[in-house]
Amino acid sequence: MELVKRIKSKGPRLDIIEGGQGPTEGSVAAVPAHPRKYSTDLPVSGAWFPGDPVGHRRFLTITDGHPFALEPGGNLTEVVQAYETWGNLNNDASNAVLVCHALTGDSHVIGESNTAHPTKGWWDEVIGPGKAVDTNEFFVVCINVLGGCQGSTGPSSIDPSVSRPYGSRFPEITIRDIVRAQAKVADYLGIESWHAVIGGSMGGMQVLEWAAMFPERVQRIAPIATALTASAQQIAWSAVGRSALALDPRWRGGDYYDADTGDGPYAGLAIARAIAQIHYRSDVSFQDRFGRSLVDKDSLFGLWDRFQVESYLDYHGEKLVRRFDANSYLVLNRAMDTHDLARSRSSMEDAVKRITADVSTASIDTDSLYPPHQQLEIQRLISAAGGVCSYVEIEDPNGHDGFLLAAEGIGDVLRSLLEH
């Protein structure tokens, strides 16, 4: 990725971009300012950096002097995993539950937001004392994924070879690389076999790979609102979001970490998030909440007058910019696209034969991003291979985000799995 140099033009509302991809080599392009007025205090990156409050995080260096080889062919000389735990591991380490987070999630599954953790626990209503995943009974672990930005090694981390953030030099990774890094944390914690591995969306991809890569280390799994392989439409949605981000001149080819506050790739990341937010929710949820309401009821015909739903998308875009990193979004988004349980395993039928764990999969009935037929396919193939797999379709109006918001339905699925 080429470093992009910004030169301010003398004219109003224009930036001149030099070194970017243009019609001819050496040409410059005038980039109009986006009509959306963003906050002026947006960080260059919403990543956690050393020196920031640690909060409930713990850290483990898993490389121990040996490079961490990656499936696409690269390697990382040093890998740190940030993780959080709740409850107590019993004497024989048989009560451990691994929770795998989604694309823009992190290790903070439960607990309040504070200076160390920018958001409230993302499954706070499902996991905790007396809840579906009862931390009085189970030792719960969640690890910020490799490539992430909340303490684990990712593009915003310092590359030890040059003593500055990886940025554009961060290598491509896969879901399998994420899982292998998590296995190192399990080794350190003394967990030979998980009582259960659970997660939704990208977390569900990790769950499936755990069961296929380490069948002897997983007793139960709950892959929720996810798929055995990324579909063409899922890849298409991802590609549009990545393109929106990369077209932001402030992305600078991935090397933006030394920019000033308010001069990072906030617009690209915010638009990518807005695109994703559209398919994270259902048509019903948008219509019921916003309909055709305007931000200003007397302003309709101006080109940039806004409907309430546009304001909602803007809000979620800026919210993500304050807690996430643009490069991590690109790296993890691409890892989701390359997810395919059958890769290098002859066929999907052969891949699922590796899974010996008991499986409970679940769908959200209004999910158009990971529609129910994909979870039904999980059940069908595992059952055909002689495995044990139950299936539940949860009624919830929130679309794909239902795996986060339908706490009662998700809780029932997980409680049944853990008690089995």
In this structure, what token pair is assigned to residue 167? 């940025």
Active site residue 339: no
Using alpha carbons, list the distances in angstroms from residue 2 to 20, 167, 180, 256, 281: 8, 11, 30, 11, 35
Determine whether 400 is an active site residue.
yes
Q: How far apart are CA 215 and CA 249, in angstroms?
A: 45
Residue tagged active-site, from 107, 152, 201, 282: 201
- Are 224 and 396 within 8 A, CB to CB? no
Instruction: Give the other-Cβ count within 10 Å of 41's Cβ.
Output: 8
Pair 126, 118: CB distance under 8 Å: no
Residue 56 appears among annotated catalytic residues? no
Task: DSSP letter for 153, please.
Answer: S
Write out the H or E segment, with its range, that includes residue 223. Answer: strand 220-224
Buried b (16+ CB within 10 A) or exposed e, 126-141: bbbeebbbbbebbbbb
Chain centre to alpha carbon of residue 63: 23
What is the distance between the alpha carbons of residues 86 and 75, in angstroms, rounded to a whole number?
A: 31
Q: Which residue in 325, 358, 367, 396 is the catalytic one?
A: 367
Which sequence positions are flagged as catalytic? 201, 367, 400
